Amino acid sequence: MRRMTVLGAAVTALTLTVGVAMAAGASENKGKFYFKKTCKTCHTKGAAGGEVTPLTKTQEQWTRYFTKGVHKKGAEKLTDVVPAEQLPEIQLFLVNHAADSPQPETCG
C-alpha cells in the first residue's frame, strides 16, 4: 500500500512539473536544441562530464534533478551552467524522452 502511495505521489509530481513547463510555453524542440548546444559540450562519451542523454535517467530522476537545481553533484547551481530561461525547455525534452517515457530518445 505504501508503495502505491509513493508511486502515486511521484506520478503527480511529474505531471505537475511537465504541466508547468508546458503551461509556461516551453518547447520540446527548443529543449533538444538547448540541450545539444549547452549540455552536450561536456556530456558526450569520453568528455569530462561523461555521456548524458535523456535515457540516462527516468522521468522521476530528471524531475528531481531540475527540482534540486544543482549540477556536478551539488558543486554548482544549475543556473551557473545553463541560462535559467532555457531550463524549462531542457527539462521538458529530457523528461519526455527519459528511459521510462513512452518516447525514449538518445538525442543523437
Average pLDDT over residues 90-98: 96
Average pLDDT over residues 78-106: 95
Helices 87-96 and 59-68 sit at what angle, rounded to 10 degrees? 160
Query: In this structure, are residues 37 and 93 in contact, taking their beta carbons and an 8 Å threshold?
Result: no
What's the pLDDT tens digit per position in 9-26? 444 444 444 444 444 578
Q: CA-to-CA distance for 57 and 85, rounded, in angstroms?
A: 22
Query: What ranges in the chain are assigned the alpha helix state H?
Result: 2-23, 28-34, 59-68, 87-96
Task: Indicate whether 61 pLDDT > 90.
Answer: yes
Percent of the chain with pLDDT over 70: 77
Enter the pTM of the model.
Answer: 0.75
pLDDT score of 18: 47
Q: Which residue has the higher pLDDT, 18 or 59?
A: 59
